[in-house]
Amino acid sequence: MARIIVVTSGKGGVGKTTTSAAIAMGLAKRGHKTAVIDFDVGLRNLDLIMGCERRVVYDLVNVINNEATLKQALIRDKRCDQLFILPASQTRDKDALTTEGVGKILEELAKDFKYIVCDSPAGIERGATLAMYFADDAFVVTNPEVSSVRDSDRMLGILSSKSRRAEKGEEPIKEYLLLSRYSPDRVKLGEMLSVDDVQEILSLHLLGVIPESKSVLNASNSGTPVILDELSDAGQAYADIVARYLGEDKPHRFIEEEKKGLFSKLLGRK
């Protein structure tokens, strides 16, 4: 049975799409057949981050409206044959999404895929609520600053009350915290919330900390999920997160300020 993961945050610009791309690629690289769906209808971005924007023919809304089959709309990644992308429509808005339509797509994908990653749009409106409605796991991406933390908190409330699992009274969605754009030296200066501060407010299982890194922007610009940049700290952070999600025991990194010597040692590690 497929596991449906929603990558969500409430707030925009915290790294949901970067995370979706990285996690999906990470899972696929480990041999799990993975699909990643862009729910941000009207503000399509995932295709850019995945570097497949020139191969989009059909999209999510086409499939919902029966204008295309799922097979036609799914784009196979060129770097990893286990990874498929279902892009959002750029010319529509989120009202084009229906619960039945999304449910049908996920059901069909679940027959064939091991993991389905849903990239949620910002906000708590239709697109975001539909992205999380069918989820089994939720990756809550949060930046270490107060507004992002509060929005995540709000999102967690919605996850626990408005999902299919909540409505059916099943086991609740498993929620994980991903703290992104973390900068230990700014935390030290008191300019940023620390991991502990965020944990205290959200009381959530920490899946990983992704450091603020130039490599993320470079990766986005070149259409390569940052996890493929194995030398970068952000890439390694995502690799750790995938490993932890799959049950491996990896110590947390990038929380403390790294000394230069140790840092280069870490970079040499795969």
Partner 1 sequence: MSTSSPTLQKAALEFKSTSLTVPVLLLASNNLSHIELQLKEKITQAPEFFKNSPLLIDLQKLNSQNLDCELPDLVKLVRDLGFMPIGIRGGSEQQNHIALEIKLPVHSMHGTNAPITNKPEPKTIAVVEVEEAKQPEQNQENKLITQPVRSGQRVYAKGDLIVTATVSAGAEIMAEGNIHVYGTLRGRALAGVLGNINSRIFCSDLQAELISIAGIYQLSDDLSPALAHKPVQISLDNQTLIIKDI
Instruction: Return residues touching partner 1 (CB under 8 A).
Output: 150-151, 153-154, 156-158, 160-161, 200-203
Q: How far is the CB of 8 from partner 1 (least distance, A)?
A: 13
The H or E element containing residue 163 is none
Classify the C-alpha dihedral 110-65-100-124 as positive or negative.
positive
Q: Which is nearer to partner 1, 99 or 161 (CB)?
A: 161
**Tokens standing for 198?**
């965020």
Q: Which is nearer to partner 1, 160 or 183 (CB)?
A: 160
Q: How far is the CB of 199 from partner 1 (least distance, A)?
A: 11
Q: Which is nearer to partner 1, 33 or 150 (CB)?
A: 150
Q: Which is nearer to partner 1, 28 or 202 (CB)?
A: 202
Distances, alpha carbon 34 to alpha carbons 85, 184, 207, in Å = 9, 33, 19
Q: Which is nearer to partner 1, 114 or 154 (CB)?
A: 154
Q: How far is the CB of 206 from partner 1 (least distance, A)?
A: 15
Q: How far is the CB of 244 from partner 1 (least distance, A)?
A: 22
Q: How far is the CB of 94 from partner 1 (least distance, A)?
A: 20
Those residues whose C-beta lies under 8 Å from the C-beta of residue 257, and which sit 6 or more positions away, are 184, 185, 188
Q: Give CA–CA dist 133/239, Å, rounded.
A: 26
Residue 52 DSSP label: -
**Tokens standing for 70?**
């799922």
